[in-house]
Amino acid sequence: MIKFGYDILFSIRLLHDYYEGATSDMTIVPTADCEETLRNHGLLFRSISGGGLILFSLNEKNEIHRKIQALSRFRFLIILRNATFNNFTNLSYPAKKLGRKIYYFSNVANNGVIDASTTLPKGIGNKIDSTDLYWLVNPILKIPLGGNFNQVTLSRIMPGSGKTILKTFQTAVLEKLVIDLQKIDNTLNSPLALKEGNYILDFSGPSPKTEQIYFDVALWKSNAWGLIEIMKDNTINYAAKTEYTITAKANPWSYYLIDPANKVTINNNTLTNVSTATTGLAGLALTWVQEADLEADSYEQRRYAQLKNIHTGTRIFLLRSNRGMPRTAESKVSVKLTLDGVQRTLPNPKGTQSIADIIQTL
């Protein structure tokens, strides 16, 4: 009997600190071009809970049926399956800028080398943060400048060659820069249509900045939350069975204390008559976060502004946990607030709630 089989070429695991391990709230799906690449190399994709497997085929002699001979790209969409995912996931929520936000993960390093690391997020602690945030853009890219930048440089990081500058736009005094990504005039009489992929915009001026964009017309029409791009070449080790991981951080707990009667006393930037105590999770504590210390463009900053607008003229105090909170804490942690010697038990935020933070009137 002739036997044929499959073995793992590489796998992708989606992890979340809220679940303290694998999560099924995110699922991965090959893009149309990835499905074609898989077919051309005799590979199969299999979805599993919390990730996916890419399998290579074996012939009757248990040998690799078709090896990868040239640099090949495998792209996978990350689709969210939980409507309250943002409630318990620590992410950046900037106001709309250049397009639709999308999280992008790749095994290609900034110098163009195929990275041996198997943790795909570039953020602190190898977990998802603003470093992985890109803007999914339209073919006609409209960039607000406000006359604040001298020039804008469009670049791309390519496997092998690293960062390559495609065009520099002189933008002094311009209020807005409009770029047709399907017709970049980078050489005389030779317009360049950008291929789908990740690009970098470097803004030069008194306050320089960098924005990361991803251009793909087909992807714009999808409901993708994120995109994974894995590059493989003929040096691939089939026996390695590489497992790539993407880990999301759990949100801290947030309590907004509304103080209409001015009960809270402040002395030397300290709440002198307010204290909190927690049980159920070692090392857990709540600290006062002042409005000036809130991250710009963050959910907390917008939430704080919303509450100030609702409770005009009333002081608001934000207490935040000193760590991201796992789902298990929702049932085992107790938080007590003491104000002028009177103690109350605060409700625990829950990831399944439509709004995860807690508002308490003192």
84 and 128 share a domain?
yes
Both tokens of 342, joined, read 């009177």
Higher model confidence: residue 188 or residue 145? Answer: 145
**At residue 96, does pLDDT exceed 80?**
no
Task: Round to whole Å and give the CA distance between 18 and 32.
Answer: 31
309 and 179 share a domain?
no
Domain that holds residue 345: 254-361
Both tokens of 179, joined, read 């770029």
Domain count, the chain: 2
Which of 248, 276, 308 is a domain's end point?
Answer: 248
Task: Round to whole Å and give the CA distance between 102 and 136.
Answer: 6
**At residue 2, does pLDDT exceed 60?**
no
Which of 207, 225, 248 is a domain's end point?
Answer: 248
The identity of residue 10, as a single letter, is F
Task: Round to whole Å and give the CA distance between 264 and 250.
Answer: 30
Which of 248, 283, 311 is a domain's end point?
Answer: 248
CA nearest neighbour of 54 among 30, 31, 71: 30
User: What's the mean pLDDT in 214-219?
Assistant: 91
Q: Which residues in 193-289 belong to E strands, given as ranges?
A: 197-204, 209-215, 226-232, 242-248, 254-259, 274-279, 286-289
Kindly state the percentage of the chain with pLDDT values over 70.
97
pLDDT band at 147 (very low <50, low <70, confident <90, very high): confident
Task: Round to whole Å and give the CA distance between 98 and 56.
Answer: 39
Using an 8 Å Cβ cutoff, are 104 and 198 in contact? Answer: yes
Using an 8 Å Cβ cutoff, are 120 and 243 in contact? Answer: no
Using an 8 Å Cβ cutoff, are 334 and 239 in contact? Answer: no
DSSP assignments along 140-166, one per residue: EEEEE-TT--SEEEEEEEETTTEEEEE
pLDDT band at 191 (very low <50, low <70, confident <90, very high): low
244 and 258 share a domain?
no
C-alpha distances (whole Å) from 315 to each of 213, 256, 260, 267, 290 are 39, 10, 7, 15, 11
179 and 68 share a domain?
yes
**pLDDT for residue 345:** 96
**pLDDT for residue 1:** 41
Residue 303: helix, strand or coil by DSSP?
helix
List pLDDT tens digits, range 70-83: 999 999 999 999 99
**Around Cβ 195, how many Cβ atoms within 10 Å?**
10
Using an 8 Å Cβ cutoff, are 81 and 44 in contact? Answer: no
CA nearest neighbour of 280 among 330, 207, 222, 351: 330
232 and 321 share a domain?
no
